[in-house]
Structure 1
Amino acid sequence: MSGKLVDNDDYPRQDIDVYAVRFARNRIICLQNDHKALMKLIEDGIHDVHTAARNKRDSENSSQQTSSEQIQDLQMAFLQVNELSPLSPAENAGLRVGDEIIRFGSLNIENFDNMQSVANVVQHSMGQSIPIIIRRGEHIHHLNLIPNIWHGRGLLGCNIAPIHKR
């Protein structure tokens, strides 16, 4: 990149293609400038992402300072397992008859409208894990349910029904 292209008498060197070397040097310099510009854009983007994450975390921290009543509402079950088929995806996930569902994927007591919303979550999660939070007696359990086709009816192999609606 910095070697001389002329000899001691200031004539072009005969052992190299001066035009090709100058062209290659120019191309490398242009690419280096493009690289610097892209790295600057990436750096600015990273700063923006971290600023947004910090703002989100700060807003979540302020919203987490909720009353104990709101926290209690989020622990309320809205679905209950009424039936469970043997060897079904629901049984494989660890569900039992009588389990009360506090959270089913993105659904909880706050945003649950009807059983169609549960069906939508199941249909869109076929073959993928749905995180669920259940209450079994006095204990809270976190399970992963994978809706899938099996030898029985439906994708879950259980019957769930609403138990509480706001």
Structure 2
Amino acid sequence: MGLPMDNNIHAPTVPSGPTTTNTGFGDLSKLSMVELMDQKERIESELSALSGILSSHGVDMNTSLTTPDGFPRNDIDVAQIRTTRVRIIHLRNDHKEVMKHIEKGLHAHFAALQQNANATTSSLTDPPSTLATARVVTTLPTRTGAIGAPFAKVNSVVNGSPADSAGLKMGDAIRYFGYFGEVNWVNHEHLSWVSEVVQQNEGRPLEVRVVRRKDSGPETMELSLELTPRRNWGGRGLLGCHLVPL
């Protein structure tokens, strides 16, 4: 009879920090925004496929791979699951590195937009404070596929908050958070990445794509909302809404 294996068999040991980024992408700082987005899409596509492998075994990244008495489970391919989990961890690290460089490019882009806006503000009839909080709501074709799966739900929205001004409503399911889908179901890390993006973009507009049920019937629609995190709006936090993971 074999001996029980380590209870941590389900938790692969992986060095922290980026792994394949340096060898797979080269110098990210030299890539254009289009090339960075291509890398982002490639990573997310592979992550989606790997997630499918875990789902086919009925497990996720945290499911125990041992029996209560410490033996490897014989109803699943433990070796394949461990290998898949290690690859997912590597890719998540790579994704974070790519997103950091995309974020830098976005900041430069919005800085240029702000300069252009400042040059034309005097010709507009609305006061700057109104323009800064103007709502942008666009109905979009609903995306399909695992990458577009909602990862969070709006549990509450405070009246007069940035979230309220952006048009977020209780019950909205968030599909993407941040321009170019910075945060999605693949990388939100129990919504911690949402918090990080919000902190890093105070005063800057962020795109939030939500799925909302129509007032009549079971149909849903996808909306693109422009949300600007800010302080001093009269309440707590930078958004004024409460999100819960799905």
Bucket of the pairwise TM-score, normalised by the shorter protein: 0.5 to 0.7
Determine helix, strand or coil for the equivalent of 1:122: helix
1:12-161 equivalent positions in 2, closer than 5 A: 56=35, 71-105=144-178, 106-137=182-213, 138-149=220-231, 150-161=233-244
What amino acid is aligned across from residue 193 of structure 2 in structure 1?
S
Larger gyration radius, structure 1 or structure 2 = 1
What is the CA distance between 1:155 and its match in structure 2?
0.7
| 1:139 to 1:148, Cα distance in 2 relative to 1, 3 A | same
Q: TM-score, normalised by structure 1?
A: 0.57
Q: Is the 8 A contact 2:155 2:241 kept in 1?
A: yes
Give the deviation of 1:118 after TM superposition.
Answer: 1.4
Paired position in structure 2 for 1:38: none
1:108 maps to amino acid:
N
CA distance, structure 1, for counterparts of residue 169 and residue 149 of structure 2: 18
> Quick one: higher RCO (CA 8 Å, sep 6+), 1 or 2?
1
User: Secondary structure, in 3 states, of the residue corresponding to 1:142?
Assistant: strand
Deviations 1:3-25 (A, max 9, x none): xxxxxxxxxxxxxxxxxxxxxxx
SS of residue paired to 2:202: coil
* 1:110 Cα deviation after fit: 1.2
Return the offset for 1:141.
Answer: 0.5
CA distance in 2, matches of 1:56, 1:158: 34
- Pairwise CA distance, 1:102: 0.3
**Distance in structure 2 (CA, Å) of the matches to 1:98 and 1:132:** 14
Post-superposition offset of 1:75: 1.9
* Paired residue type of 2:169: R
Does the Cα contact within 8 Å between 2:167 and 2:225 map onto a contact in 1? yes
Identity across matched positions, percent: 32
Q: TM-score, normalised by structure 2?
A: 0.39
Q: CA deviation at 1:114?
A: 2.0
Q: 4+ residue runs of structure 1 moved beyond 6 angstroms?
A: none
Q: Please provide the CA RMSD for this pair.
A: 2.9
**Aligned partners of 2:187 and 2:193 also within 8 Å:** no
Counterpart position of 2:68? none
1:56 shift after superposition: 3.9
User: Which residue identity does 2:230 align to in structure 1?
Assistant: N
Mapped to 2, the partners of 1:145 and 1:56 lie a distance apart of 26
Of 107-116 and 93-102, deviating more is 107-116
